[in-house]
Amino acid sequence: MIERKPIRRKFIFRTIVFLVILYLYMFNLEMLTEIINYRLGDVKVYHVIWLLLMLEMLQILLPKYNRHISCGKIFARHFREKKVPYDKKEVLEYTKKYNRRAGWAGFFWLTLLFLIGIFYFARIIDLISIHLIAVFFYFSDEFCINVWCPFRAWIVRNKCCNACRIYNWSHFMIFSPFIFIFSFWTYSLLVMSLVIFIQWEYLHYKYPERFSELSNANLKCGDCPERVQNCRFV
């Protein structure tokens, strides 16, 4: 069974990071700028942050290091075929249903991104605000896992994180506001997150049985090898 404590620690860490950055953004923007640009020898703090984020995403891309079912069910190592024969047509209908819901989730996010763009180009928010929004999305990702997820509750309506159809969309969602900030550092994060998104969608198309509890025993509540957070049935 996979320990949930590291996931809780990530949530606490991201919460602290977001609250500290929000406080500095509101009350001491100059200090926030100095911290981000502070030199650590030949590199700056934001270079280190960039590297850590890239390594975090690389871990998701590689089967050897992707050890959670929620983000790793695209790989064969997390697929345990049900011993009882399953109806492939039923799996196909399951896949179609959640593809439609994923489409609505994508439409919602593109609408949100469009609104952010309107506010940015209308100069209602500035470049620093775009970064703050990305930090908020970074925090929200763990909030959805540990506390409450609007996609699970209203749009995709998956029973838990392990069964989530759009789980690996998260990094692309987090860094999507960077589309309005053209630089190597922002666009490299955005491109890497897009690679994760494409990998997820391609393997979902090729191996839909890995995403359905009708065919993958690891996604059944009674057989789940992880202690899943926010499951409606646990």
Taken as a whole, the chain contains a residue count of 234
What is the pLDDT at residue 86? 92
- Gap between the Cα atoms of 47 and 67, Å rounded: 27
- Gap between the Cα atoms of 90 and 83, Å rounded: 16
What is the pLDDT at residue 52? 98
- Gap between the Cα atoms of 208 and 73, Å rounded: 10
- Gap between the Cα atoms of 117 and 28, Å rounded: 25
Burial group, residue 98, by CB count within 10 angstroms (0-12, 13-18, 19+): buried
Q: Shortest CA distance to 20 belongs to which of 37, 32, 9? A: 32
- Residues 6 or more apart whose Cβ sits within 8 Å of residue 211: 73, 74, 95, 98, 163, 165, 204, 219
What is the pLDDT at residue 136? 98
What is the pLDDT at residue 230? 44
- Gap between the Cα atoms of 14 and 88, Å rounded: 41
Burial group, residue 119, by CB count within 10 angstroms (0-12, 13-18, 19+): middle
Q: What are phi and psi of 36, to 5 degrees?
A: -60, -35
What is the pLDDT at residue 221? 85
Taking only the tens of pLDDT, the chain with its 234 residues reads 344 566 789 999 999 999 999 999 999 999 999 999 999 999 999 999 999 999 999 999 999 999 999 999 999 999 999 988 899 999 999 999 999 999 999 999 999 999 999 999 999 999 999 999 999 999 999 999 999 999 999 999 999 999 999 999 999 999 999 999 999 999 999 999 999 999 999 999 999 999 999 999 999 888 776 654 444 332
- Residues 6 or more apart whose Cβ sits within 8 Å of residue 204: 74, 165, 210, 211
- 3-class DSSP state of 224: coil
